[in-house]
Chain A
Amino acid sequence: MGYVAVKGGTAAINESIKRLKYERLKKKEILDVKDIDGGMRGLIDQVMSESSLYSEELASTAIKQSEGNPEEAVFLLRAYRSTLPRKHYTRITSSGEMFVERRISASFKDIPGGQILGASYDYTHRLMDFDLIDEKRSDAVTWVEEFENEIIKTNDDTDLKNLPKVVDYLRKEGLIKNHPLNDEEPKDITKENLEFPTKRSERLQILTRGQTGAVTSLGYAALRAYGALHPTVGELRIGNLPLCIENPFDSEGSEDEYYIGDIKITEVECFMPTTVEKKRGQKEIEFEVGYGICYGQNETKAIAMSILDQCLEDKDKRYPTQDEEFVLLHIDCVESTGFISHLKLPHYVTFQSKLDSVRKTRKGGKEDEDKL
């Protein structure tokens, strides 16, 4: 079926869709959603984070449908998300209650509670493991059983649900300004359009669902030359955070709440030294805190987010990374890929119109030259 000029034709489109299905199935192997759920934790976390939808099962299905293309998977989940009514907002949660799996500080060696390395690629060599080609399920099961037995034997009395925060230590020392708690209800950016200047709650929402690559590159740009001084990771923690909603049958303001489950998150607090001017031109250095948080284990993104958060607080017009319109309007995965990809649509009418005026300007230009 030919694809003639602008008219794709229903038949041609149907054939294209069939061809896509063929591409997914042609090797005659079916990927079980459970396989994705079990083995693609990194991709699932990234997709959930950019989709603002916390469901490993849905993310796995989207990854299967999109043949592992994260851009498409996020697209599918965001569109699905549009059909879900927002029934409840969770109560304000303190990340101090997180059940911690990994927690490191690049600022202090001896943080109270200690450094907990947890699972990380940071300490591995990036050498191809060719044994994985012949990995057997039975070996994997034995390994897991042995590993789980080992955990039970070790004895540690660290209270993982109640680890102190590094930032509190600096605050006590007076090295970080003690901001009053802002428990103002956040603006929901999926229900209200963004207006500039923005509130911090809006900025944090957009940063956290930003495209991993985009957030990382802008964070990198800020770190490299355009904005922030060298930040230090005060604390990076990964763990499960319990969420609660108000009792829906109870009157407002009641203490009663329902626990609805845990989400796994990555949280980063980074410190940036800034100069503050005191009385009579005296200058002092003080630390400011940048904050990053996202679904799943997404450490680079969370750190980049914390850098950008601080940049957007600073608002130094010299740097694009500190210009909130520049950063916030361009890091969304669905928006940027959508508009770029629309260039594949035919543009006959607009181009015909432009052609007409280009010709007219040429004619006009020539006549003007003749006049001279």
Chain B
Amino acid sequence: MKINYNFAFFDEGSKREIRRASLKAVAIPGYQVPFASREMPIARGWGTGGLQLTLSLIGKNDTLKVIDQGSDESVNAVNIKKLIEKTTGVSVTDETDNASIIQSRHRIPEVPLRDNQILVLQVPIPEPLRAVEPSEYETKKLHAENEYSGAYLMLFEQIIKYGNMSTGADHPVSVHDRYVMAPSPIPRFDNPKMNYSKALILLGAGREKKIYAVPPYTKVQSLDFDDFPFEAESFEDKKCRLCGATGVFMDELADGKTGEVYYQCNDSSYCLSRLNNIAGHEAVKNGGI
């Protein structure tokens, strides 16, 4: 009764079951494969889908990075990292380049991923048609029949109502010209990063018990119209206050004292490595090091 926990928490049978579902997901890009989601030591809705994928995949030689809201240091990322470290003993890293498995909530890192990396995304609502069709039974049929007019209609109605597509994060994408998929709650800004991504992207929804995938080098297109093209969040004229980066996803922050609004890289490890580089260059310039 009082046994120690297994390597990577699960018993081998459970890991194998999850890997089988993942293989099926890779074989049918964008298709939501149902799987027997286990109850986890972290709460449902806090990333149990991603965690189950990571635990089923991870081996002793892997290096793990966990991101939450763009940060390696945020509460949830730290918790997930601690649990995986505790049950596997693998090494962890903050640097995107050094990681073999990257589990993330909400962001795809700014540094382009490589083909020997796996990105695991935590998904809250995997069904892209949920907003137009509440019934799971019905959405399954719609996917089977390649019937996505509901998703387009939703975007069309937003344009009519607001003059723009008003999706926040999680703007639906079409994968490999077949399945429409919810790209987890990544901001629109990150949608294009999925297109022909070199890294395998696995998406796991624990509470909704679905696994799906974007295999490497697969076409991923955000849904839009000819006269209303897809638009990502714009940070055109914005600059990171810390490292001066442009063209990345920014956090909008307000100075507590002056109330002045400023911007900062959302991807904290990207920002940090830029800062280190800048510091290095300056040190070289000043004849240091």
| A interface residues (Cβ-Cβ under 8 A, vs B) | 5-10, 13, 55, 57-58, 75-76, 78-79, 81-85, 190-197, 325, 329, 334-335, 337-342, 345-358, 360-361, 364-365, 367-368
Beta-carbon contact of B39 and A349 below 8 Å: no
Residues of B within 8 A of A190 (CB): 36, 38
Partner of A10, one of B5, B76, B78: B78
A10 to B, closest residue via Cβ: B78
Which of A76, A81, A197, A335 has the most CB atoms of chain B within a 10 A radius of its CB? A335
Residues of B within 8 A of A57 (CB): 1
Partner of B168, one of A6, A9, A340, A353: A353
Residues of A within 8 A of B71 (CB): 6-7
A191 to B, closest residue via Cβ: B36
Give the complex CA separation of A197 and B38 in angstroms: 22
A337 to B, closest residue via Cβ: B43
Let me know if B9 is at the binding interface, CB within 8 A: yes
Give the complex CA separation of A349 and B70 in angstroms: 8
B40 to A, closest residue via Cβ: A79
Stretch at the interface among B23-31, B159-167, B276-284: B159-167
Q: Which of B134-154 contact A (CB under 8 A)?
A: 134-137, 140
Give the complex CA separation of A368 and B160 in angstroms: 11
A332 to B, closest residue via Cβ: B44
Beta-carbon contact of B69 and A348 below 8 Å: yes
Q: Which of B219-234 contact A (CB under 8 A)?
A: 231, 233-234
Beta-carbon contact of A193 and B35 below 8 Å: yes
Let me know if B196 is at the binding interface, CB within 8 A: no
With A82-B40, A352-B249, A354-B168 already in contact, 15 other A-B pairs whose C-beta atoms are closer than 8 Å: A5-B253, A8-B78, A75-B39, A81-B39, A82-B14, A82-B38, A82-B39, A325-B134, A325-B137, A334-B43, A337-B44, A338-B45, A345-B105, A352-B250, A357-B166
Beta-carbon contact of B41 and A79 below 8 Å: yes
| B interface residues (Cβ-Cβ under 8 A, vs A) | 1, 3, 5-6, 9-11, 13-14, 17, 34-41, 43-46, 48, 68-71, 73-76, 78-79, 105-107, 124, 134-137, 140, 162-170, 185-189, 207, 209-210, 231, 233-234, 249-253, 266, 268
Beta-carbon contact of A361 and B162 below 8 Å: yes
Beta-carbon contact of A349 and B162 below 8 Å: no
B161 to A, closest residue via Cβ: A361
Residues of B within 8 A of A84 (CB): 11
Beta-carbon contact of A338 and B11 below 8 Å: no
Residues of A within 8 A of B250 (CB): 352
Given the contacts A193-B209, A349-B107, A364-B164, A55 and B1 also touching, CB distance less than 8 Å = yes
Give the complex CA separation of A78 and B11 in angstroms: 14
Residues of B within 8 A of A7 (CB): 71, 73-74, 268
Partner of A345, one of B11, B68, B170: B68
Residues of B within 8 A of A194 (CB): 34, 209
Given the contacts A342-B45, A349-B187, A350-B185, A6 and B74 also touching, CB distance less than 8 Å = yes
B87 to A, closest residue via Cβ: A83
Chosen A-B contacts, 12 in total, with CB atoms closer than 8 Å, are A8-B75, A55-B1, A82-B10, A83-B10, A196-B137, A334-B43, A337-B43, A348-B69, A349-B185, A352-B233, A361-B163, A364-B162
